[in-house]
Structure 1
Amino acid sequence: MKMNLLAVGDVVGDRGIAFLGQRLRPLKKLKNIEITVVNGENASGVGITPRQAEELFQAGADLITLGNHTWNRREIVRFLDENPYIFRPANYPPQNPGRGWGIYDTGKLRLRVVNLIGRLGMDFGPDNPFLEINRILAQDTADFTVVDFHAEATSEKLAMAYYLDGRVSVLFGTHTHVQTADERVLPKGTGYITDLGMTGPVESVLGIRVDQSVDTFLGNPTGRYETAPGDYKMECAIFELDTDTGLCSGVERLRIL
């Protein structure tokens, strides 16, 4: 039996959440999506609040993953402990609030979702994600395993994908907000894309006003970053999963305007 899993790139700001609310459910119906994973770490620009997490669930997300801005909105801390369907990176120190992976039981199958963060190009030193994923995969069992690898370097994402090929069903990258055109099924059956992209403004630099980003690179003083105005897009990928093998049989990359 085949089933479709939808992974949605980093949602930027309240307008990104609103756009997701307009586009996500029609897409799920059109493409017969059974499970939806949304990266929400930029729902506040940097970070996410409990209100915004609830709005992502209301928009149609079944599971929410985060990243390097997990702690920017401190009010999310208790929510991470209380809600089993939102995940911060698993290779953060173990004393951190929340969980880095979990089992989502649909009643028909068990989906293990894992949130990892890369180490290259980040401003801090999380634990080694390659070692952490081994510890996670040794625990519990599931029909499918899906990994959101929130990382800067394409080399780190690709290396992780090949390291896990045939051991997980899907690995998709998040964080760069730029959709890559390398979606495919790897040789041993893992579905992969280096970066999903973002759900945010089309005319922007990673969701931020163009003039502010240009000023930053010019070395000019800037105020607090603001989400760019204009039309929005939702970038995502659909992974066709095979219940007989627990692996992926196809990947479709999408940009919804």
Structure 2
Amino acid sequence: MQILCIGDVVGSHGCDFLRRTLPAFKRTKGIDVVIANGENSSGGNGITPASANHLLDSGVDIITTGNHTYRRREFYDYIDESDCVIRPANFPPEAPGKGMTVLDLGRTQIAVINLMGNVYLDEHLACPFRTLDTLLKTPDLPKICIVDFHAEATGEKRAFGYYADGRVSAVFGTHTHVQTADETVLPKGTGYITDVGMTGPIESVLGVRAELVIKKQISKMPVRFDFADGPCKLDCILFDIDEKTGLTRSTERFSLR
């Protein structure tokens, strides 16, 4: 089973580049399932029904999110009704949407879990480690289970990877928009990468025009961020998963340009 996980898709440029790039890459690599983090995919900030539909229509099967999930109120009903878009499972149960979904491919099923870290983000959320324990007790949970861990601190991400090792198929980190070079198969068979990276403008600071981020850093005053223009990249990781065991056989990291 070839499962592709794509780093945070940023703005309309990221969405358009994904649409141009993904279909051919799926054919070349024989990809069965595509999971993408879309929490920054709208033209302004956050994610909207339009940007979610754009990703799904472009070949993404499941969209995960993160700390910007609820920036756009028009998205609340959409995520509440969707089986293809999920939010971090450790948000309060009153929050719209759900934190896990199951994709049925006919011959097999794949569970996708979305969790968010506490360190440097929101320590008021439920513990992602304990939330994972609860979700893994779900009756009839598929053998193949992929986790998007949306977190800031590399230490928290690494610890979570080892905590999940052997209990899920793969863990891919999102949120920092910077692809790490530590893709691996952990000792008990879980595929892992600390952060899969970003899909969006290359000449930018996390997708934003560099001069705006520099201005904020120097002035310490509020600055309206706009997404950068120019050539884009699509950062992703491909997990080769054994359908019988649900564990990862190999990982391959890409940055498509």
**Fold shared by both chains (TM-score > 0.5):** yes
Q: Give the letter aligned to residue 10 of structure 1.
A: D
2:34: which partner in 1?
Answer: 36
1:49: which partner in 2?
Answer: 48
1:248 aligns with 2:248: yes
**Partner Cα distance (1:125, 1:21) in 2:** 36
Shift of the alpha carbon at 1:143?
2.3
Q: 1:123 to 1:130 in 2, by over 3 A?
A: closer
Tell whether the 8 Å contact from 2:215 to 2:223 is kept in structure 1 after alignment: no
120-129 vs 53-62, which deviates more? Answer: 120-129
1:12: which partner in 2?
Answer: 10
Deviations 1:50-97 (A, max 9, x none): 011000001110000000000001111000111111000000001111
**TM-score normalised to structure 1 length:** 0.97
**TM-score normalised to structure 2 length:** 0.97
Q: Give the letter aligned to residue 43 of structure 1.
A: S
1:110: which partner in 2?
Answer: 109
Deviations 1:125-155 (A, max 9, x none): 2110000000000002202010000000000
2:21: which partner in 1?
Answer: 23
Identity of aligned residues (%): 48
- SS for the counterpart of 1:235 is strand
Deviations 1:159-206 (A, max 9, x none): 010001000000000000000000000000000000000001101000
2:81: which partner in 1?
Answer: 82
**Partner Cα distance (1:124, 1:215) in 2:** 29
Tell whether the 8 Å contact from 2:169 to 2:189 is kept in structure 1 after alignment: yes
Q: Give the letter aligned to residue 200 of structure 1.
A: G
Q: 1:178 to 1:147 in 2, by over 3 A?
A: same
Structure 1 runs, 4 residues or longer, greater than 6 Å off: none
**Partner Cα distance (2:164, 2:187) in 1:** 11
- SS for the counterpart of 2:35 is strand
Deviations 1:98-122 (A, max 9, x none): 1000111110111110000000001
- SS for the counterpart of 2:69 is coil
Tell whether the 8 Å contact from 1:212 to 1:222 is kept in structure 2 after alignment: no
Instruction: Give ranges in structure 2 of 5+ residues lacking alignment.
Output: none
2:124: which partner in 1?
Answer: 125
- SS for the counterpart of 2:196 is coil
Q: 1:97 to 1:222 in 2, by over 3 A?
A: closer
Tell whether the 8 Å contact from 1:91 to 1:129 is kept in structure 2 after alignment: yes
Tell whether the 8 Å contact from 1:87 to 1:98 is kept in structure 2 after alignment: yes
Shift of the alpha carbon at 1:228?
0.7
Instruction: Give ranges in structure 1 of 5+ residues lacking alignment.
Output: none
